[in-house]
């Protein structure tokens, strides 16, 4: 068998180099801010500056728009490594990709050239506004409206659970442009923070990822130029779903990083902590826990990287793999971080150690960009297509 057949199971050297570079930045300039961002529930500006100065804040932006041009796998590795240091900070590159992906998939060249370069330079961030108070998993039931008025669209409605709201300058907003036809009546638009009629709710009081603001976005008669529509009218929902196919991979990567951080810390802790006259790591029960944690993490990593490769190629089975990676990696992260707390015993339950924060941060990866129950529905539908 030719040796090239095995190269698919080894990361290319350039991707390993990306990991080393991101880890160095994060260990030095992101990890030291993680506990404070969690404690104060404030956006970690120092971490953002560190990522921006290293070109890791939005690595996916193509070179023609001033970006680093990282492929989907390299972007996933960046997010994974940032999340290993600070889950809140990993939402900087992750949400920049989420917010801009609709433009990359469906936007006009004029929109791309106007809005992608400021994100690439770090001058602006980009958020994604799909969910509403009464339209979460059932996003097609949204009520936010966009009405055409000459050379403008006028938007009215409320978007909820918007990551980095208030910090981001730009927002991809989904709204109903043709009522009564369901998903086919939804369109996508670029809205700017400075547009008249845009305002934000109070920051949500959350269990985890406290350093990443989550707020409602209010649209009160927001009048925007007609050329800010993303794609043709009525194609917004399809663009939203295609976007999530790609960005669920980034949530899987975030989950990997959180889990890796918890495993690294707990493994080191049990080698240093002694009980009954020997290192806690010498007890077989502890070793079995660590083995299971590492096994789940590595399985999740392989599935996530396979999904990232499909994202880069735009494979037909990306919908299944994106959902599978997000679902499996986030479930694994929740299990691994919970076990990490257990391995530290009473200390794991205190804020003196980072694993309780990692456990709290891991929970959201099972919920946003589609709950894991929704991911299983997505996977089952894709699976059953072949038999119907």
CATH topology of domain 126-234: Butyryl-CoA Dehydrogenase, subunit A; domain 2 (2.40.110)
Strand positions, DSSP E, 206-352: 214-225, 229-230, 274-275, 278-279
Q: Tell me: pLDDT of 1 over 80.
A: no
d(C-alpha 189, C-alpha 266), whole Å: 45
pLDDT, averaged across the chain: 97
State mean pLDDT over 42-49: 98
Q: Which residues make Cβ contacts (< 8 Å) with residue 326, sequence separation at least 6?
A: 248, 249, 251, 252, 255, 365, 369, 370, 372, 375
d(C-alpha 200, C-alpha 385), whole Å: 41
d(C-alpha 122, C-alpha 70), whole Å: 15
Instruction: Take residue 382 and report the two structure tokens written for it.
Output: 């894709």
Catalytic residues: 369
What does CATH list as the number for 3-121?
1.10.540.10
Q: Tell me: pLDDT of 4 over 70.
A: no
Question: What are the boundaries of each domain within the chain?
Answer: 3-121, 126-234, 237-387
Residue 256 burial (10 A CB sphere; 0-12, 13-18, 19+): buried
Where are the alpha helices (H) located in 138-221, listed in sequence order?
Answer: none
**What is the share, in percent, of the chain residues with pLDDT greater than 90?**
97
CATH topology of domain 237-387: Butyryl-CoA Dehydrogenase, subunit A; domain 3 (1.20.140)
Domain 126-234 shares a fold with domain 237-387: no
Confidence of residue 283 (pLDDT cuts 50, 70, 90): very high
Q: Tell me: pLDDT of 196 over 90.
A: yes
Q: Tell me: pLDDT of 238 over 60.
A: yes
Instruction: Take residue 244 and report the two structure tokens written for it.
Output: 């999530």
Instruction: Take residue 217 and report the two structure tokens written for it.
Output: 């976005």
State mean pLDDT over 88-116: 98
Confidence of residue 162 (pLDDT cuts 50, 70, 90): very high
Q: Tell me: pLDDT of 109 over 60.
A: yes
| Residue 276 zone, left/alpha/beta (φ > 0; ψ -120 to 50; rest) | left
Q: Tell me: pLDDT of 90 over 90.
A: yes
Helices and strands in the chain, H and E counts: 11, 10
Q: How many CB atoms lie within 10 A of CB 288?
A: 10
């Amino acid at each position: 068998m030719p040796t090239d057949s095995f190269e698919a199971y080894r990361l290319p050297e350039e991707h390993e180099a990306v990991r080393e570079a991101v880890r160095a930045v994060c260990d030095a300039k992101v990890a030291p801010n993680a506990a404070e961002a969690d404690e104060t529930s404030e956006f970690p500006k120092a971490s953002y500056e560190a990522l921006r100065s290293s070109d890791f804040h939005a690595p996916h932006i193509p070179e023609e728009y001033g970006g680093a041009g990282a492929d989907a796998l390299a972007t996933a590795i960046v997010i994974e490594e940032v999340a290993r240091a600070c889950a809140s900070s990993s939402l900087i590159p992750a949400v920049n990709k989420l917010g801009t992906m609709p433009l990359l998939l469906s936007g006009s060249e004029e929109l791309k050239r106007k809005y992608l370069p400021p994100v690439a330079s770090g001058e602006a961030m980009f958020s994604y506004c799909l969910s509403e108070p009464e339209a979460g998993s059932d996003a097609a039931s949204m009520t936010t409206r966009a009405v055409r008025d000459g050379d403008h669209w006028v938007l009215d409605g409320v978007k909820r659970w918007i990551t980095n709201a208030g910090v981001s300058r730009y927002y991809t907003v989904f709204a109903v442009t043709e009522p009564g036809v369901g998903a086919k009546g939804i369109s996508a638009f670029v809205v700017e923070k400075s547009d008249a009629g845009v305002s934000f709710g109070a920051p949500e009081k959350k269990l985890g990822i406290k350093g990443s603001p989550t707020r409602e976005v209010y649209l009160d008669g927001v009048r925007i130029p007609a050329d800010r529509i993303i794609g043709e009218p009525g194609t917004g929902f399809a663009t939203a779903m295609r976007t999530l196919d790609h960005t669920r991979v980034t949530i899987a990567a975030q989950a990997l990083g959180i889990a890796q951080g918890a495993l690294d810390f707990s493994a080191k802790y049990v080698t240093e902590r002694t009980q009954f006259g020997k290192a806690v790591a010498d007890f077989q029960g502890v070793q079995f826990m660590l083995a299971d944690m590492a096994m789940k993490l590595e399985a999740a990593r392989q599935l996530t990287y396979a999904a990232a490769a499909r994202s880069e190629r735009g494979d037909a089975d990306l919908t299944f793999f994106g959902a599978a990676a997000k679902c499996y990696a986030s479930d694994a992260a929740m299990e691994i971080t919970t076990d990490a707390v257990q391995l530290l015993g009473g200390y794991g339950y205190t804020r003196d150690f980072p694993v309780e924060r990692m456990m709290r941060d891991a929970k959201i990866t099972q919920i946003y960009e589609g709950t894991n129950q929704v991911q299983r529905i997505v996977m089952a539908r894709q699976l059953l297509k072949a038999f119907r």
